[in-house]
Amino acid sequence: MELGILTEGINEVIATTAGACRKDESRGESESTTTTNTGNDALPLRPNAAPMGIFCRKGRIRMRVYRGTHTEENMRRNGWVVANVTHDPVVFVETAFGDIGADRFTEITHEGTTFWRLKDCEAWAAFRCTVLHVSEDLSVFELHPVAEEIISCEVHPHNRGFSSVIDATILGTRYVMFNDPAMLEKIRYHRDIALKCGSERERIAIKKLDEVIGISVD
Ligand SMILES: Cc1cc2nc3c(=O)[nH]c(=O)nc-3n(C[C@H](O)[C@H](O)[C@H](O)COP(=O)(O)O)c2cc1C
């Protein structure tokens, strides 16, 4: 299978899907903006965004998504996902722990199905997905490319600060999910690199991460 904008290995992207419920609502805060699905059913759906890894190995494209996440529920329900490529570290933290406004999404219609992507992404790829395997903890999906677009060709020299925000955010999601204090030392390590090597955006991302974790890692 052609990988398109994705590359061999694990691609860390922002996955957009649509569903009936979002993270803020799970925490009891209501978000009033709704959007109507023009796909198979007519239920009001809200676009959702979350960082996810997309595995490209030997020409196959797959995702391993934890049960209990909105992304997993939405992919199983609607059978599609959009991979959004962005180098903005703040979006990774925002979407890992909370919801972004519906005004930050835009619609794509392809052969009668409406998908949502991030407005501010550098490239996106829409996929239909089929369930390969479901266990108690996670679902494995096979992804089939539908459409894609490169919006910006801006070059990003490698920045260790950006990479460390990604690592610290993944560790942060595990810390929040499993309340594992062993994660804190690793978060502190990546936090220091992000602050040393990153730009103002990395510093904003780390500040948001500190707030979510709720304790000082200094
Ligand atoms: C860079 C990055 C990659 C991630 N990859 C995955 C993944 O592949 N599968 C998964 O289930 N969660 C992954 N997560 C954690 C989810 O983003 C996190 O659980 C999120 O809250 C899910 O949001 P949702 O409920 O809106 O789907 C990742 C987090 C980060 C920061």
What the chain holds in terms of domains, given with CATH numbers, is 9-88+99-150 (2.30.110.10), 160-213 (1.20.58.290)
The pLDDT score that the predictor gives to residue 216 is 64
Q: Cα separation of 43 and 38, whole Å? A: 9
The pLDDT score that the predictor gives to residue 24 is 58
The pLDDT score that the predictor gives to residue 180 is 84
Which ligand 1 atom sits closest to the C-alpha of 65?
A: 11
CA of 52 to the centre of ligand 1 (A): 5
CB neighbour class for 113 (10 Å; exposed up to 12, middle 13-18, buried from 19): middle
The number of angstroms, rounded, from the C-alpha of 156 to the middle of its chain's C-alpha atoms is: 20
Residues 6+ apart with CB under 8 A from 19: 45, 46, 48, 70, 73, 74, 77, 78
Which ligand 1 atom sits closest to the C-alpha of 66?
A: 11
CA of 19 to the centre of ligand 1 (A): 16
Distances (CA, A) of 55 to 33, 61, 164: 32, 6, 20
CA of 128 to the centre of ligand 1 (A): 19
Which ligand 1 atom sits closest to the C-alpha of 72?
A: 27
CA of 146 to the centre of ligand 1 (A): 22
DSSP 100: -
Q: Cα separation of 68 and 204, whole Å? A: 28
Pocket of ligand 1 (CB under 6 A): 12, 23, 48, 50-53, 64-66, 69-71, 92, 96, 166, 169-170, 173
Task: Confirm if 171 and 186 have CB atoms less than 8 A apart.
Answer: yes
**Which parts of the chain register pLDDT below 70?**
21-43, 215-218
Strand-strand pairing, 113-118 and 44-57: unpaired
